[in-house]
Chain A
């Protein structure tokens, strides 16, 4: 049975399905239980599945990831919510030193198969502490997988895959598009997910594989790599520029779908990478390096990065900071016009 869902409903449905299928799945975090989470992603789960399956934790991110490690070692599959990705840093030691390395350092005796969900990204006037995109802090850590969906269908299928994965998954949710796709034109009316084909979501169990990018638009002139909210900004920019661009939604940023990237860039010879995170040492830098290692002799233009500026996320300058469609279109234009 299909239903029309926004991102929140799709994520909720994924946890609902997994709580029902697997008694070893537990869902917890700050305000996650009775209230259902500040973004309502766990709404109704406690009522339906019971107090012990979906509950509130103390406000101690290091503590709640720490207990998830112990639960994972016991054999459970915790799905934990960090209320905002901006608040994941108190847990960074547990994630980097423990979660990511348990399997390796114990030679496979102990593992921590957990899913760490966190709303991330800007576009909501959240200021410095509700807008960050810290994905590169996790792609840099050996042993973690990092997943970022861009629509309801993928969100549910990827979250189920993450919960079933035997390795820890950092699952970053672009909060700006929880309720509807956002093309970056903040001055225009928002269209709800219901008008988007990816809001058609199976009500039951299904998966979207981790590690596979999606080609959202085939094209010949330039490859665009994006994920999360930026996928929608990029599609708008392509539409408006009239260019024949190929758009890849990475969906899993680590381990990234290298074959899909290489095939596309070798075909187009040009590449623009778009993310909200700050530019320097951002994930775009890794993508740029991978592409030049593998596609150098196919490139006809410098690889461009469109990213957040290297400043903290400023409250009043949301739209100057946010890499919107105009900045993306300008980069596309430069890349397509470049001649060696």
Chain B
């Protein structure tokens, strides 16, 4: 890192400090590089894949504390799957995973453009983080209940939720399954086991624990999974979830998606600098896995371990996925304002799509031509779905849900005041 001082940031008043030797000083964490400075990933705590052991699922949490500080990796630089965590995934599953990650990316690109074209108000991509949702969807059973954030659209895509439905929601058109009530990207699908996504960060982490407690109470076999961003781990709900999951041994997989950034604040502002997010689990007596979130095989392996443990009634696991938010937070910010332009390209853990593709090539199950053909096919898939959804309507044109429905579902049956207000609007 360059030692140059940022002219825009005033440093701690040196004069006053000098006049008071041994005085206290306040630390405000800063990322290792800001725009215009040299990239620096020196605090990533990388470890070689083969270096991290894979414990039995019935291990005691305190026996594997090291895993919170290591990094589970499977794919090496040559695209080979190595080490104890290499999962026994058949090639068809790997190709499915690649397809869903690429479909998620193509979908994101189209919807991002749709926002730019004024067809919707807002959009959020998950570029660079596709492995997290897609590999995890593969490791969970289709009827396990997911409590995602706005950045796990890959879950819905991998579970086969129709793209057109997703688009109808983003465009808030007449066929929007959520009737124009939710911000784009805050999906909900009971049928596909995806809980209604909240705009309030963190709230769902603890709700997933409640769902899992209910499943255990009913002697069900289904488990829950929840996701939270690195920034949002500072919310109380995150800590409530760890407490309740530990106390009641809830069958839930708790995921921190550490994509390094929370809008413009780096992970250190959430306390990720001095100790990795995975290590939060230790004090709660829960096992923690820290995993290379851009390594499809490693994410799958870590998740499968936690799923198996939860289903065996051994309780919750906290998984930190170390990944990188390759693009802006949403359509509303410009990341070049707060982080170096080359940070995404220089990210040491690479790109999840490129890495899985390279692995398939390395084991003789894929080729550059097939990759390109698949990319084109998916582009066409997304284009066709987009045309279909836009033909129904967008936020700015075409048909919207009936305004009358605005007054439905506040309560199961509308009380007098809701009926009265609907009449006042004349709908």
Contacts and interface: CB of A to CB of B under 8 A. Distances in A.
A97 B196 CA distance: 12
A73 B145 CA distance: 10
Contacts of A26: 217
Contact of A68 (B198, B200, B210, B410): B210
B206 A107 contact: no
A62 B240 contact: yes
A109 B182 CA distance: 13
A105 B178 contact: yes
B409 A108 contact: yes
Given A97-B198, A98-B200, A110-B196, A66 B410 contact: no
B243 A60 contact: yes
Nearest to B243: A58
Given A66-B209, A94-B203, A108-B409, A74 B215 contact: yes
Interface in B255-312: none
Interface residues of A, number: 42
Contact of A98 (B207, B218, B224): B207
Contacts of B382: none
A90 B186 CA distance: 25
Contacts of A74: 145, 210-211, 214-215, 218
Interface residues of B, number: 44
A106 B244 contact: no
A288 to B, nearest CB: 16
Interface in A46-94: 52, 57-58, 60, 62-64, 66-76, 90, 93-94
Contacts of B247: 58
B200 A104 contact: no
Interface in B190-225: 190, 195-196, 198, 200, 203, 205-215, 217-218, 224
B331 interface: no
A109 B188 contact: yes
Given A97-B198, A167-B411, A69 B207 contact: yes
B237 interface: yes
Given A60-B240, A66-B240, A143 B188 contact: no
A72 B236 CA distance: 21
B206 A62 contact: yes
Contacts of B237: 62-63, 66
Contact of B416 (A57, A64, A258): A258
A74 B223 CA distance: 11
Given A110-B190, A110-B196, A71 B182 contact: no
A97 B203 contact: yes
A305 B206 CA distance: 41
Contacts of B181: 104-105, 107
Given A70-B206, A258-B416, A106 B211 contact: no
B329 interface: no
A1 interface: no
Contact of A63 (B244, B411, B417): B244
A69 B209 CA distance: 10
Interface of B: 145, 147, 177-179, 181-182, 186, 188-190, 195-196, 198, 200, 203, 205-215, 217-218, 224, 236-237, 240-241, 243-244, 247, 409-412, 415-417
25 contacts: A52-B217, A60-B240, A66-B205, A67-B207, A68-B210, A70-B209, A70-B212, A70-B214, A71-B213, A75-B214, A93-B203, A94-B206, A103-B410, A105-B178, A106-B178, A106-B190, A107-B179, A109-B190, A110-B188, A110-B196, A111-B412, A167-B411, A211-B415, A255-B417, A258-B417
Interface of A: 26, 52, 57-58, 60, 62-64, 66-76, 90, 93-94, 97-98, 102-111, 142-143, 145, 166-167, 211, 255, 258
